[in-house]
Chains A and B, each alone.
Chain A
């Protein structure tokens, strides 16, 4: 009886359409937000930032992006790693070419550039569907990685072929480069996450979201009721790639600091983000966060357990991690194709009636 919606009346369509229609949810969200902004930055240290919080926030952005494309618009992409690489290399070129301009603008521009590249590789989606398209997006993955590897202009002709992020500041605090503090890394990523999650929510609840979902659920019917598949699909590719590009830019500049394209943005990255949205929940904003948290925490926990506690060799632990991840994917698809988000929703439905069974 603690969690309920009785007596929570709406008197306008604006109130009825809000993100958290149930009052208790709204309060929970505000408290979470307050902790994330006001408490965590003062407690965070390098280990927690690098092992958990920063990768979680960055992958949450990537998962939001892929979820727009796959979960909402129904177009499966295996090119996420390649698109993240576009974001990373775009931000690198911008940072080094225009050092006086704010890094925030560079990161946003990197997202924009990735959106354009994403639309380009999204063009075939107009002719091909389903896993044909999934395989076609592999072309983006392999071609882009090859491109950044082979064309020296992209890595400023550095001898190692790596890109390294120079130090840049926001409001006087370094957010990239070796001198960055843990709270600064965390806060810059958190800022992007909060804004982008809000944007993702807005896009998916309105006109664009409905067009995407219509295409996903039944593309022919969608076209007959007046959805232009060209603009619907390309806008999904653009929005998705914008998010993924920003994630790639942050991953390189804030988190990794230095990157080699094949290693940092290979096909495994594409699968990692895909797994996040499957486990978290396709077509759910909350699911993108849940999936990112799950896939970031799982290796940390396993490593602590198997290597730290039991003293097993690290390679064995890594192989067992592969098995667990693979088995979990299959399990989720069998038991709950809508992922953690649906489990959460079911729990809340149960809570509404608690402690009475019916």
Chain B
């Protein structure tokens, strides 16, 4: 297995990993005088599960925010599917096929589970205002078509019984799952997961891990995730980026990263000079 080849490789479990889909080159992000991300480069390949790990405050979430277009880096280039991405609004990035979940769940609490997941498909619904106003033609047709798609995702994530429940009433673990459903509903080419298992018990973590693997396997979705649970990260991901104090200190397969001295130091807390 040669994970550094330019046109993809095959994993140990036989999945085909394609060429680079997201390429980040020399990204630097500042807030006032603070450098949250210092000159980081890495890439994400078609079909792989890529993890970003690091201690608290390492800049992982900021990195994810750069990818999803919420923060615009002061320096560096973001290449997606072979094109350089200029400064874009977050909703424009979403339309390119990048969906995400959030560290602190960001669901729409006043809406039902079904409506929340339907928002994931907003970019695919094109009916005009007038058609919506009279609920005739395009509006009704695409509502039913997209509802069918959403029902598939509801089945896939096993949340049929809570479809019409307002999201605000759900327990934490289910909310995380609904958020994943909303991101999946967009049929993204790149799925970003910000700590998908934070605050979950073992059983919920197992469920979530299974869903992530299934998504990757069945839909071939490229996934980039941040996670603190090392066991989960090492089991799930094909390649891992390690960040510390805004710098990249390691990049490679789980095994390579595990044996990297700098990574061990960062996690065991060797004094910085």
Would you call B144 and A14 a contact (CB within 8 A)? yes
| Interface residue B180 (Cβ < 8 Å from any Cβ of A) | no
Cβ-defined contact, A226 with B95, below 8 A: yes
The reply to whether B132 and A283 form a contact with Cβ atoms under 8 Å apart is no
Main secondary structure, interface of A, reads helix
- State the CA gap A214–B133 with chains docked (Å): 19
Instruction: Say if the beta carbon of A178 comes within 8 Å of chain B.
Output: no
A213 and B100 contact, CB distance less than 8 A = no
CB distance from B27 to the nearest CB of A (A): 19
Rounded to whole angstroms, the CA-CA distance of A203 and B135 in the bound complex is: 8
Across the interface, do B91 and A226 meet the contact criterion of CB distance under 8 Å? yes
| Proximity string of chain A (204-244) to chain B, C-beta cutoff 8 Å, 1 when within and 0 when not | 01111011011011101111111111000001000100000
List the B side residues contacting A220 at CB < 8 Å: 70, 106
**Contact between B70 and A210, CB atoms less than 8 A apart:** no
A169 interface residue, CB < 8 Å from B? Answer: no
Which residues on B sit within 8 Å (CB–CB) of A13? 143-144, 147-148, 151
Q: Hey, which chain A residues are within 8 Å of B100, CB to CB?
A: 224
Q: A13-B148, A17-B147, A202-B135 are in contact. Are A226 and B106 (CB under 8 A)?
A: no
Tell me whether A225 and B134 are in contact (CB under 8 A). Answer: no
Spot the interface stretch: B108-116, B219-227, B260-268: B108-116
**Is B132 in contact with A208, judged by CB distance below 8 angstroms?**
yes
Known A13-B148, A199-B133, A221-B102: A207·B125 in contact at CB below 8 Å: yes
- Beta-carbon contact of A283 and B122 below 8 Å: no
Q: What chain A residues lie within 8 Å of B127 (beta carbons)?
A: 206-207
Contacting B at CB under 8 A, from A1-43, are 12-14, 17
Cβ–Cβ < 8 Å partners of B122 in chain A: 207, 210-211, 214, 225-227
Where chain B touches its partner, the secondary structure class is: helix
Cα-based distance from A205 to B140 in the complex (angstroms): 10
Q: Which residues of chain B (239-267) have a CB below 8 Å from chain A?
A: none
Give the shortest distance, in Å, between B132 (CB) and chain A (any CB).
Answer: 5
Task: Out of A210, A218, A228, A229, name the residue touching B115 (CB < 8 Å).
Answer: A210
Q: How far is the CA of A82 from the CA of B29 in the complex (A)?
A: 45
User: Separation in Å of the A65 CB from the closest CB of chain B?
Assistant: 14
Q: Which of A203, A208, A218, A239 is close to B108, meaning CB atoms less than 8 Å apart?
A: A218
Contact A213 B108 (CB under 8 A): yes
- Give the most central of B95, B106, B118, B142: most A CB within 10 Å: B106
Q: Which residues of A contact B135 (CB under 8 A)?
A: 202, 205-206
- Let me know if B120 is at the binding interface, CB within 8 A: yes
CA distance A13 to B152 in the complex (A): 13
What CA separation (Å) do A225 and B108 show in the bound complex? 11
Task: State whether A202 and B90 are in contact (beta carbons under 8 Å apart), knowing that A217-B111, A220-B106, A225-B182 are contacts in the complex.
Answer: no
Contact residues of A between 178 and 216, Cβ < 8 Å to B: 199, 202-203, 205-208, 210-211, 213-214, 216
Shortest 4 CB-CB contacts between residues of A and residues of B: A226-B94, A221-B106, A217-B108, A202-B135
Pull 18 A–B residue pairs with CB atoms less than 8 Å apart, ordered by A: A14-B144, A199-B133, A203-B133, A208-B132, A211-B122, A213-B108, A214-B122, A217-B109, A217-B110, A218-B109, A221-B102, A223-B90, A224-B100, A225-B94, A225-B122, A226-B94, A226-B95, A227-B91
Q: Which residues of B contact A (CB under 8 A)?
A: 68-70, 89-91, 93-95, 99-100, 102, 106-111, 115, 118-120, 122-123, 125, 127, 129, 132-135, 139-140, 142-144, 147-148, 151, 182-183, 186
Additional pairs, 20, CB under 8 Å, beyond known A206-B143, A225-B120: A13-B147, A13-B148, A13-B151, A17-B147, A202-B132, A203-B132, A206-B132, A207-B139, A210-B119, A210-B122, A214-B122, A216-B108, A217-B110, A220-B70, A223-B91, A225-B119, A225-B186, A226-B94, A226-B186, A227-B119
